[in-house]
Amino acid sequence: MSAAPSHWQTRGVRALVLLPVSILFGALTFGRRWCYRLGLCKVSPTPIPVVVVGNISVGGTGKTPLTQALVARAVNQGIRCGIVSRGHGGQVQPTPYLINNTTTAAIVGDEPLLHHRKTGVPVVVCTDRAAAVQKLSEGDVDLAFSDDGLQHYKMQRAFELVVVDGDAGFANAMLLPSGPLREPIARLASVDIVAVQIAVARAHPHTADLLQTVPGLSAAVEADVPVGSFFLKPGKLRQIWTDELLPLAAMQDKAVTAVAGIGSPQRFFDSLRNADLKIKPVLFDDHHAYTEADFASLPSGPVIVTGKDAVKIKTLPLHSLDIYELEIDVDMSDSLKLAVSDMLTKLHEHPNSES
């Protein structure tokens, strides 16, 4: 996997050299957003409300599992919902593509396919997310979740939920390419919910503690935007060929290879180590397109992969290998649960409300 550029961590010489480009990027971003807000650029109305689950920085922040958890909560409240996505890592889909049971990750990307398999709700992929929502609305769906798309202003949205990596924070808090930000930290003041992914903990931190770890969250707190936390809890291991479930403890006395091709793999590896597994980590780029050759030189013994990896690996003729997907649960803080519950209630009672 490609690590984040080192100059993103400080406001050093390289970050400052790139500052003129960042200023231009910021001006274009600001101008584009306000073109849509002022009506100079046309926002495509959506026939059903949309909840955007996005971020203001590049890199993995936990959007995919959190989106699935939000869908599960909506379904439990009796809301008929679906998911739209651009489909990174798959073929470009200029027209809406409704995922079915024969769809592969090569067509739509790993994340949309994982959404389809984990949630069971309709998932539509398109570069034009507004068109994807239109397609979704033609089915038995009342609410759409957009995995990513915070900056896709062409798509009308009812709520914006921004996900933040509590470990990485906002690094040097500079815009691309000087830093990791797609939009300034001040953008947090205009969203509806901020969800901070933290390392596995016994208790969720209070907002004051989150502010100490990620000072940039003050932009949301000062604007009275609800801020909560969540962490990804490792569950059981699912054998990808047979669907057999095993507890993590079953691998404690074995030499395990852990394979990851995701945006932020360290938490995946840490979760296995915290379960007392002896692992050999193997890294690939985010959205990596796996081949048989990737597994030819791996040590013998069990292999554990993420859900995003599993949906691609399952299509390869590797049945002789003992490969397991690590299932995960999303543990939300009470404050995040309350904010999400309030959002879903409002959308259920007033579906035409806008952010």
Predicted local distance difference test score (pLDDT) of residue 278: 95
Average pLDDT, the chain: 94
CB atoms within 10 A of CB 341: 12
Residues 228 and 240 in one domain: no
299 with 150, same domain? no
Within a domain: 354 = no
Separation between Cα atoms, residue 260 and residue 263, nearest integer Å: 9
Place of tokens 């840490």: 270
pLDDT value at residue 1? 42
pLDDT value for 170 = 96
Band of pLDDT at residue 349, cut at 50, 70 and 90: confident
pLDDT category at 283 given cuts 50, 70, 90 is very high
Number of domains in the chain: 2
Are 210 and 283 found together in one domain? no
Whether the pLDDT of residue 260 is over 50: the answer is yes
**Structure tokens belonging to residue 87:** 């489909």
Please say if the pLDDT value at position 353 is more than 90: no
Return the HEC string of the chain: CCCCCHHHCCCCHHHHHCHHHHHHHHHHHHHHHHHHHCCCCCCECCCCCEEEEECCECCCCCHHHHHHHHHHHHHHCCCCEEEEECCCCCCCCCCCEECCCCCCHHHHCHHHHHHHHHHCCCEEECCCHHHHHHHHHCCCCCEEEEECCCCCCCECCCEEEEEEECCCCCCCCCECCCCCECCCHHHHHHCCEEEEECCCCCCCCCHHHHHHHCHHHHHHHHCCCCEEEEEEEEEEEEECCCCCEECHHHHCCCEEEEEECCCCCHHHHHHHHHCCCEEEEEECCCCCCCCCHHHHCCCCCCEEECHHHHHHHCCCCCCCCCEEEEEEEEEECHHHHHHHHHHHHHHHHCCCCCC
- 228 and 239 inside one domain: no
- The residue segments making up the domain with residue 265 are 234-329
CATH classification of the domain holding 38: 3.40.50.300
Asked if pLDDT for residue 295 goes beyond 70, the answer is: yes
| pLDDT tens digits, 61-114 | 889 999 999 999 999 999 999 999 999 889 999 999 999 999 999 999 999 999
Are residues 226 and 169 part of one domain? yes
pTM score above 0.85: yes
Same domain, yes or no, for 211 and 80?
yes
- Residue 355 forms part of a structural domain: no
pLDDT in tens, 301-342: 999 999 999 999 999 999 999 999 999 999 999 999 999 999
What is the structure's pLDDT at 171?
A: 95
How sure is the predictor about 200, in pLDDT bands with cuts at 50, 70 and 90?
A: confident
pLDDT over threshold 70, residue 150? yes
211 and 90 in a common domain: yes
- Least Cα distance to 116 among 79, 67, 161 occurs for 67
**Mean pLDDT on 117-140:** 96
**Residue 282 pLDDT level (bands cut at 50, 70, 90):** very high
pLDDT of res. 348: 82
Reading phi first (left if > 0) and then psi (alpha if -120 to 50, else beta), residue 224 is in left
Asked if residue 224 has pLDDT above 70, the reply is yes
Q: pLDDT band for position 352 (50/70/90)?
A: low
